[in-house]
Amino acid sequence: MITAKACAKIILFGEHAVVFGKPGIAVPVKKCYTLATISSEPFSYTTDKELNEEETIKMAKLFKLLFSKLDTNKNLSAHIESNIPVGCGMGSSASLSISLIRAFSNFLSLNYDAEKINSLAFECEKIFHGNPSGLDNTVITYEMPVFYRRKKTEFFELKKPIHLVIGNTGIKSSTKEAVEGVRKRYEKDERKYLHAFDEIEKITEDARESLEKGDIRKVGKLMSYNHKLLKELEVSSDALDGLVSKAIKAGAYGAKLAGAGLGGCMVALADERNKDKIMKSMKDSCHEVIYTVVS
């Protein structure tokens, strides 16, 4: 029996624009993770969560893909446990695939390196999201802050640890639908969308520099500006906007929706002194509040 782990992530900048070739910044969230345990038994799998019909179909496709890529006799069973909220922008699907790939690789002594794990996880992400950018699987595989562009990935270091308060609206959202919605609206009004993507690109580039310098105030401002642009892309919601305002009122440096939007999570940039106040302000309008420090 072998168990492997994969963390969660949060996107700090550039979601949606990243699908159109712009950069995105994501960081690992290590306190949330998936554990996959593999045993040598006739194939079956169990999870700690109840799966709906659509999720069950996707799991079947995931195992089919993994078994074909791993070239194994399939006499392996898997048990999956996770404390990552599902469908909420924290990378639950990429984390699931990566924990399974790591567990299979260890169990079958395949010794997959990070590059191999990442490219296989990208294939798995297509089952869940259709046309993913690759940002989620990359940040979760490497567990480092990443400045990601479709063809060029750069890892970078934060000058100072950042304190994040993540608010989960509890409203599940489909990344595939959110991405398709943006694409449709882009096709109707290319000028507006290209302008927004260009602005998001500038924000993301500035944000990387600010994170590398430790200019947390500037990072916060850029997050709030990024949220405003995501609203223009029509991927926010009243619940997300409400949480963003509450966090800012409680003293956050900045806040934005995180991930595909329409529901799911938002993230606020806090500091150690005001994180409790920010968490308290969000608690009543939130399904779950997660505090994490990324260094």
Number of Cβ atoms within 10 Å of the Cβ of 30: 15
Residue with Cβ nearer ligand PMV (152 or 273): 152
Q: What dihedral angle (degrees, nearest 10) is formed by the CA atoms of 149, 154, 157, 159?
A: -60
Residue with Cβ nearer ligand PMV (254 or 261): 261
Tokens, residue 155: 């890892």
**In the set 7, 15, 97, 139, which binds ligand PMV (CB under 6 A)?**
15
The nearest distance, CB 149 to ligand PMV, in angstroms, is: 11
Task: Kindly state the helix (H) or strand (E) to which residue 160 belongs, with its residue range.
Answer: none
The answer to whether residue 136 is catalytic is yes
Tokens, residue 51: 């799966």
135 touches ligand PMV by CB under 6 A: yes
Side-chain-side CA neighbours of residue 225 (13 Å): 17
Residue with Cβ nearer ligand PMV (18 or 216): 18
Residue with Cβ nearer ligand PMV (41 or 198): 198
Asked if 99 and 140 count as a contact pair (C-beta separation under 8 A), the reply is: no
Tokens, residue 214: 């430790």
**Angstrom distance (rounded) from CA 142 to CA 171:** 28
Selecting among 48, 71, 113, 136, the annotated active-site residue is: 136
260 touches ligand PMV by CB under 6 A: yes
175 touches ligand PMV by CB under 6 A: yes
**Angstrom distance (rounded) from CA 217 to CA 235:** 25
- Selected range binding ligand PMV among 8-16, 212-220, 241-249, 273-281, rule: CB under 6 A: 8-16
- Selected range binding ligand PMV among 15-23, 30-38, 109-117, 215-223, rule: CB under 6 A: 15-23
Concatenating the DSSP letter of every residue in 115-155 gives HHHHHHHHHHHHHHHSS--SHHHHHHHHTS-EEEETTEEEE
Site for ligand PMV in 56-75 (CB under 6 A): none
Asked if 207 and 229 count as a contact pair (C-beta separation under 8 A), the reply is: no
Intra-chain end-to-end CA distance of the chain, in Å = 32
Residue with Cβ nearer ligand PMV (175 or 236): 175
- Selected range binding ligand PMV among 164-172, 174-182, 199-207, 277-285, rule: CB under 6 A: 174-182
Give the three-state DSSP class for 199: helix
146 touches ligand PMV by CB under 6 A: no
**In the set 36, 136, 186, 231, which binds ligand PMV (CB under 6 A)?**
136
Could you give the residue numbers annotated as active site? 136
Q: Which stretches of the chain bind ligand PMV, using CB under 6 A? A: 11, 15-16, 18-19, 89, 91, 129, 132-133, 135-136, 175, 178-179, 259-260
